[in-house]
Amino acid sequence: MSAKEELQRLVDLLSDYECENLLGTVRKVAVGERFWETDISILYNEQVKTRSTGISPSSASTIPTIPATEEGLFLPIPIVKAYKSVPRIELPLPGYPDISLTKTILRRRSRREYNGKAISLHQLSTLLQLACGTTGFLPGYDYDRLPLRTFPSAGGLQSPEVYLSVQAVSGVPSGLYHYHLVDHALECLSPGDHSLTLSTLALGQPYLDAAAVVILISGYYERVRWKYGERAYRYMCMDAGFLAENLYLAAEALELGACAIAGFVDDAVERFLGIDGQDEMALLLVSVGVTDEVTPLAAPATPA
């Protein structure tokens, strides 16, 4: 059957409505309106969609072969990122606020008005444990003890990494730190007050410099890409979202204010963190600070 005959056969299968839509698309393409040239995110999504037809542009070619050993699945990029030979601060045991989840969820807000006061090391420890701490271990990916966290992640691969610009935490020198998820410790990457740098990196958003701490969440793309191919980019963004919501709720429970910040200069933040922007990329900042907005909190909002 010639291509023309094949096309005719397909068109005959379509309803008048479907023909109208198809014709509309063909006309747009004919005058040069190609959606993939103006919106790379639609192109990406079309590329990674799993389709009911079973045919996806990305199917076989972009999903890498999953490395397996005799014992099982091998994880090429370790989940626990650690910085050797840098000063560390062991975080104290967290203490959990006595507040119901319902109340915490109902009163969560983005809070940006910080009064510049310091939070305690104990509050920081609790915030990190609730938002992204380790809560268990399971054998997996050829590891005997694969850590599990307070947030879910695609394949249990825990794509987010957590960095902190400590700006006002009692007993902790200001500086850029990395959170060691198993040791529940801070690894100092660059001492000093980075609050003004961060405000600048966040396109001048002014409230960052009065925050007690700014948490910088990256996505370790390579940690998920080997398993899910290009679709992993989606999963990585979702993982970061789950972690960020935990941060919001933990801050709220501690009567602190938190605000997500996605407006920032990516390459500058990545240079600041010392990550390459490809294997590991900056995804989201979350400022946390003491705020007078948190009137020990008013009655929770009731749904309209």
Ligand X SMILES: Cc1cc2nc3c(=O)[nH]c(=O)nc-3n(C[C@H](O)[C@H](O)[C@H](O)COP(=O)(O)O)c2cc1C
Q: Can you tell me whether residue 260 is helix, strand or coil? A: strand
> What distance in Å separates the CA atoms of residue 147 and residue 28, rounded to the nearest whole number?
51
User: Count of residues for the chain?
Assistant: 304
Min dist CB 13 to ligand X, Å, is 42
> What distance in Å separates the CA atoms of residue 19 and residue 25, rounded to the nearest whole number?
10
Closer of 229 and 257 to ligand X (Cβ):
257
Sign of CA dihedral 56, 59, 63, 69: positive
Judged by CB under 6 A, does residue 57 bind ligand X? no
Closer of 76 and 263 to ligand X (Cβ):
263
> What distance in Å separates the CA atoms of residue 8 and residue 23, rounded to the nearest whole number?
13
Closer of 99 and 238 to ligand X (Cβ):
238
Instruction: Give the interface segment with ligand X, choosing from 55-63, 135-143, 212-220, 253-261 (CB under 6 A).
Output: 253-261
**Near ligand X in 97-156, by CB under 6 A:** 109-110, 112
Please answer whether residues 147 and 75 qualify as being in contact, where contact means their C-beta atoms are separated by less than 8 angstroms. Answer: no
Min dist CB 248 to ligand X, Å, is 8
**Near ligand X in 180-209, by CB under 6 A:** 205
Name 86's Cβ contacts closer than 8 Å, sequence gap at least 6.
Answer: 187, 188, 189
Q: Please report how many Cα atoms fall inside a 13 Å half-sphere around the Cα of residue 215, on the Cβ side.
A: 27
Instruction: Give the interface segment with ligand X, choosing from 47-55, 120-128, 188-196, 260-268 (CB under 6 A).
Output: 260-268
- Binder to ligand X among 164, 260, 282, 294 (CB under 6 A)? 260
Min dist CB 45 to ligand X, Å, is 17
Min dist CB 258 to ligand X, Å, is 9
Closest by alpha carbon to 286, among 256, 246, 258? 258
Name 168's Cβ contacts closer than 8 Å, sequence gap at least 6.
Answer: 116, 117, 118, 119, 174, 211, 212, 213, 289
Closer of 164 and 172 to ligand X (Cβ):
164
Closer of 159 and 205 to ligand X (Cβ):
205
- Binder to ligand X among 232, 253, 259, 290 (CB under 6 A)? 259
Closer of 124 and 258 to ligand X (Cβ):
258
Q: Can you tell me whether residue 97 is helix, strand or coil? A: coil
Q: How many residues bind ligand X (CB under 6 A)?
A: 9
- Binder to ligand X among 64, 152, 263, 300 (CB under 6 A)? 263
Instruction: Give the interface segment with ligand X, choosing from 69-77, 120-128, 220-228, 259-267 (CB under 6 A).
Output: 259-267
Name 84's Cβ contacts closer than 8 Å, sequence gap at least 6.
Answer: none
Closer of 124 and 259 to ligand X (Cβ):
259
Sign of CA dihedral 163, 164, 170, 173: positive
Give me the residues that bind ligand X (CB under 6 A), please.
109-110, 112, 205, 259-263
